[in-house]
Structure 1
Amino acid sequence: MSESNTSDSNSSVLAERLANKNENPASNVAQWLEDVHHGTLCTISSHSELEGFPYGSIVPFAISSDGMPYILIAEIAAHTKNILTNSKSCLFISHPNPKGDPQSNWRASIFGEFERVITPSRKDKFNMSELEKCIHVSEEEEERMLVRYCQRVPSAKSYLETHNFYFWKMKNIEKVRYIAGFGKICWINGDEVEKEISDIEIQNIKVGSIEHMNDDHEDAMITICQGIHDFSPKTVKMIDLDCGGIMMHSNNPERMTYTPFEKRIKADDLRVEIINLVKKSRKLLSTS
């Protein structure tokens, strides 16, 4: 090995050690995906004059109940055409409020493949070969995806309902290029990040926790609707929860809402974070 290759190798090892010192890079990436609401989607151009070149475009994104990023894009968009030709993509995210030198702040490149999300009511628009490349969900599942997405992009409902837009979800994470600041650099295997974002402990307590909230704490959820979402329902049921927040369905008025936590949580944090949401709601109500 040449002297220069040895030096590069040593530098990479040092950067990886710094990135992992007192840190969990995979956990940080999971939190960053919650912290930022848009990124740069990089796809491989299918344009006849630019075939094979990288194509970057800013896209809002949301996080599904299993922790994976998904986007809402138009059928006529260049990146849609690119993904249909080659689904290999990269979602680049960075610190939303960088201070000083932007290279001193965190950023990550998330490599994976996007697939179209399709519901039974829209299946007839595609042939069998195209449908085999889609993620199939129920109408209810798509509605929940829309609720999560609208929490970040309030105007998105009209796009899905009146324009030719579809959700596209990253079906897997191959690798993540992680940079937590100067010298803190490493590659993370996709399965490490997927394990962190799905969090089996939260999955294990989900059903019981939802039942408990619905049986004993409807008043707390009504308060959250009043304070954070600015409406007063007659009844509320929790229908989902994950590391990032809770989803509720209310009646009178009928509405679904997604309420994010301040930070991604572990199973042991759930009770405290629900209490924090109620406290936040009461504070907002007292000042309104």
Structure 2
Amino acid sequence: MSVNAGKHARELLLKEYRGVLSTHSRAMPGYPFGSVVPYCLDEQGQPLILISRIAQHTHNLQLDPKCSLLVGERDAADVQAAARLTLLAHARPLSGSAAIEAAAARYYRYFPDAQNYHVVHDFDFWLLEPVRGRYIGGFGAIHWVAQLSLPNPFVGAVEASMLAHMNVDHVRAIAHFVQLAGLPTHAPAELVGIDSEGFHLRIGQALYWLAFAAPCTSPGAVREALAALARAEAWSTDGVIKG
């Protein structure tokens, strides 16, 4: 496996926010059961999902936690040439009030509507702990990826503080990010997540991940990266700031 394959696979997981969760069917033993689930990444870079206790895939996971999550490039014109990732994982429900509260705070930023049905209905947070990934970057670019997850150094109070600062004091800068990246403008954009490699914007119900020009390992580095981006005149699709 090349280093780039692991990086590209992780970036695909960051750029997308929904996939097909395949579980082992309890009702039809031996058959895989696929269902669509939204996800965001937790502090360890693992997919975090919120699923109903009465859902078929939940019953399946309770019997056998082995599963996979298929993620592909959204709106790809040619699905055979598009990047996609099959993440083999071990699912486990979150337990403990502190872990659940942290997961809820993060998940609701990405999917605010989920808070309503989570409170009213019986939904639980589950983690998909990666075991191995199969990444296809296009024709002939096929790799097994052993290490996908990258811990986020900013989760918790540090990330929440940076997000609040940007969303309250730098609305114009966020609008500039949207313009540079060519993202939709039908609704105001809001920063909902920051990691060492980039940041997530939510526009309406859609999520977009934009890469930093270089990895950031401290809040100061994040501030510098965002400030440079706010001054930029152009920004290429590979995250390299120009201007």
* Larger proportion of helix: 1
Task: Provide structure 2 residue ranges, at least 5 long, that are not aligned to the other structure.
Answer: 176-186, 202-206, 233-243
- Residue identity over aligned pairs, in percent, reads 24
1:64 CA displacement: 1.3
1:222 counterpart residue number: 168
Contact 1:92–1:108, Cα closer than 8 Å, also in 2:
yes
Deviation per residue, 1:224-266 (Å, 9 max, x gap): 46866969xxxxxxxx84234389xxxxxxxxxxx97522661
Task: Provide structure 1 residue ranges, at least 5 long, that are not aligned to the other structure.
Answer: 1-15, 121-135, 232-239, 248-258, 281-288
2:227 counterpart residue number: 275
SS at match of 2:210: coil
Higher Rg of the two aligned structures: 1
Deviation per residue, 1:127-172 (Å, 9 max, x gap): xxxxxxxxx7153x1332333431xxx42111211111111111x2
Which whole-Å CA distance do the structure 1 matches of 2:16 and 2:99 have between them? 26
TM-score normalised to the size of structure 1? 0.61
2:108 counterpart residue number: 147
Contact 1:64–1:148, Cα closer than 8 Å, also in 2:
no
Q: Does 1:107 align with 2:88?
A: no
Q: 1:12-31 counterparts in 2 under 5 A?
A: 20=2, 24-31=4-11
Contact 2:52–2:122, Cα closer than 8 Å, also in 1:
yes
Contact 1:178–1:188, Cα closer than 8 Å, also in 2:
yes
Equivalent pairs, count: 207
2:180 counterpart residue number: none
Which whole-Å CA distance do the structure 1 matches of 2:82 and 2:56 have between them? 30
Which whole-Å CA distance do the structure 1 matches of 2:72 and 2:46 have between them? 17
Q: 1:1-288 counterparts in 2 under 5 A?
A: 20=2, 24-47=4-27, 50-100=28-78, 102-120=79-97, 137=99, 139=101, 141-150=102-111, 154-170=112-128, 172-189=129-146, 192-194=147-149, 197-198=150-151, 203=153, 206=154, 210=158, 222-224=168-170, 241-243=194-196, 244-245=198-199, 262-263=210-211, 266-267=215-216, 270-275=222-227
Contact 1:224–1:278, Cα closer than 8 Å, also in 2:
no
TM-score normalised to the size of structure 2? 0.71
Deviation per residue, 1:41-60 (Å, 9 max, x gap): 0000111xx11211111111
1:8 counterpart residue number: none
